[in-house]
Amino acid sequence: MRVRVLGTAAGGGVPQWNCACPGCSGARAHPERRRRHASLAVRAAEGRWYLVNATPDLGEQIEDCPELHPGPEPRRTPLAGVILTDAELDHTLGIARLREADGVELHTTAPVRRALLTGLHLGDVLTPYTRLDWHELPVEGPRPAAADAGFTLDAVPVSAKRPRYATGLGGADDDAWVVALRLTDRATGRSLLYAPALAAWPDTFQRAAEEADCVIVDGTFWDDEEPRRSGFGSRTATAMGHLPIDGPGGTARRLAALGARTLYTHLNNTNPLNDPAAPQHAVLAGRGIEVAADGMVIEL
């Protein structure tokens, strides 16, 4: 299984258009520090790829990845579909950029589909342009993304955190609102667990992480006080729905205890890890943990 990291930033990207914090200013001065919104591309078969989350940067992410370029026919694309881990805007706005397709294959949990159809009215907006083909993301066992796909997929529910636009939609507050995605190679049995948003670390996620060969998780904030300390928010990282990396409730100690390759993604612009010279990199390296980079390739 071949996985390409298309982006590693939280909502707003790095730099964020209206922000002059040290992380954003540093990225403007040093373009190599720029990060696009967190997303993956996973190869299903030769010439067929799935996106994991569809970000506002989708068009640029495709152009930066030659394996996702169309051709040789004028309108032939290797993009087979989109798999969503949640209904947040930074993971779904890119769906509208696919409206030139004859149809868009979407794999979601039931709450995410409901949010997109009744909260964002995605069906009403896109139906005049293209067809939306919905597929239920399995939460009780893996299934192939398609008959010819070289991997299976299933969801590990982690949080009932809804996007702000979906707070009044009704329906159950179950953990299928935010899931970790497990991708398993059908030939080798090796698996990747992808969780760009973690408000909690339930036992089911712990078991999935222990079984995975590669784990990529939410690294939005370095510590719990980062949002308040930066002056851009009044809530802690945990209150915003993101477990911090460091500290008593941090995820780094959990990742360090795993036998898998472990990486952080979904970095907020305030996260000191955006600076390659920050001492926090050495702290993670000492625990055997990496920070994912835009464009990196993971082979399983």
**Interval 5-38: pLDDT, tens:** 999 999 999 999 999 999 999 999 999 999 999 9
Which pLDDT does position 210 carry in this prediction? 98
Q: DSSP code of 25?
A: H
Rounded distance between C-alpha atoms, residue 232 and residue 240, angstroms: 12
Q: Is the per-residue pLDDT at 205 higher than 90? A: yes
Angle (CA) 259-276-258 rounded to 5° is: 10
Q: Say how many CA atoms lie within 13 Å of 35 toward its Cβ.
A: 34
Mean local confidence (pLDDT), 96-106: 97
Mean pLDDT of the chain: 96
Q: Is the per-residue pLDDT at 249 higher than 90? A: no
Residues with Cβ within 8 Å of residue 236, at least 6 apart in sequence: 224, 225, 227, 228
Which pLDDT does position 233 carry in this prediction? 83
Least confident of 4-13, 199-208, 226-235: 226-235
Which pLDDT does position 170 carry in this prediction? 83
Residue 78: helix, strand or coil by DSSP? coil
Quote the pTM value. Answer: 0.97
Which pLDDT does position 62 carry in this prediction? 98
Rounded distance between C-alpha atoms, residue 182 and residue 184, angstroms: 6
**Residue position matching structure tokens 């995820």:** 251
Q: Do 126 and 99 form a contact (C-beta atoms < 8 A)?
A: yes
Give CA separation, 51 vs 61, 118, 119, 169, in Å.
Answer: 10, 23, 22, 27
Residue (of 2, 118, 120, 1) closest to 54 by Cα position: 120
Mean local confidence (pLDDT), 116-120: 97
Q: What is the pLDDT of residues 42-55, one digit of tens each?
A: 999 999 999 999 99
Mean local confidence (pLDDT), 240-250: 95
Percent of the chain with pLDDT over 70: 100
Q: Is the per-residue pLDDT at 222 higher than 90? A: yes
Residue (of 61, 91, 57) closest to 79 by Cα position: 61
Q: Is the per-residue pLDDT at 172 higher than 90? A: no
Which pLDDT does position 232 carry in this prediction? 85
Q: Do 113 and 36 form a contact (C-beta atoms < 8 A)?
A: no
User: What CA dihedral angle connects 87, 78, 125 and 85, to 10 degrees?
Assistant: -10
**Residue position matching structure tokens 């667990």:** 193
List the helix and strand counts (H, then E) for the chain: 9, 14
Q: Is the per-residue pLDDT at 132 higher than 90? A: yes
Give all domains of the chain, ordered by start, each with its CATH number. 2-294 (3.60.15.10)
